[in-house]
A and B are shown apart, each in its own frame.
Chain A
């Protein structure tokens, strides 16, 4: 079955960077995009951006432009999201999700908690 498995929780200091991985299986990695969505504690879902493994295209939310980089490794069917210049309000659970046409997110990874604290 289709699965997305993310890397473990991270604790970072303000100003640092974090890189979250998302290993996929059960489908042809290059046939779909991967979107990254985050959820701050007690808050709603926030789309961060999208990457296409096939075309090596990416689209970032304006909010994160300049601070986020999304990449893929087709040899391992893994997607990565790196966020730089971390602030306390970046504390959130970060999800990867298989993306079809930028409007159907299914399924989702289990989430990675990133805590930013001094």
Chain B
């Protein structure tokens, strides 16, 4: 069972914004950088945010990340149909000495 909690689903119309939360604890999000991964249907995950708020090369600025205390957030603005996917947060857990992922959030474009 994951130690990072995400909402099962979020949705919005094209052009709108969605926000995905990732709730953890002091031993993971509270103490480490957070990454976010996009998994399109039937494909491998892809890194979209690293080190909490940095976009890898090639990721549009519509994707942004932030963190406050033991929670992290991924925002996707100007939503497109191609953004429909599952999104996972991830970080290191210092107590478990293990990498951990969130429960995953399905983004639906209405």
Binding site for B on A (CB under 8 A): 35, 37, 44-47, 50, 59, 61-62, 95, 97, 101-111
Contacts and interface: CB of A to CB of B under 8 A. Distances in A.
A105 B98 contact: no
A106 B56 CA distance: 9
A32 B103 CA distance: 26
B70 interface: no
B44 A104 contact: no
Contacts of A101: 92
Interface of B: 2, 32-35, 37, 44-47, 50-51, 56, 88, 90-92, 96-104
Contacts of A111: 44
Contacts of A102: 92, 99
Nearest to A99: B99
A62 B45 CA distance: 23
B2 to A, nearest CB: 6
A106 B47 contact: yes
5 contacts: A44-B103, A45-B90, A47-B99, A104-B47, A105-B45
B98 A104 contact: no
B92 A105 contact: no
B34 to A, nearest CB: 8
The 5 tightest CB contacts between A and B, nearest first, are A106-B47, A108-B44, A47-B99, A45-B101, A44-B104
A50 B90 CA distance: 15
B101 A109 contact: no
Contact of A44 (B2, B35, B96): B2
A45 B47 contact: no
B2 A103 contact: no
B20 to A, nearest CB: 14
A95 B43 CA distance: 11
Contacts of A44: 2, 88, 101-104
A45 to B, nearest CB: 4
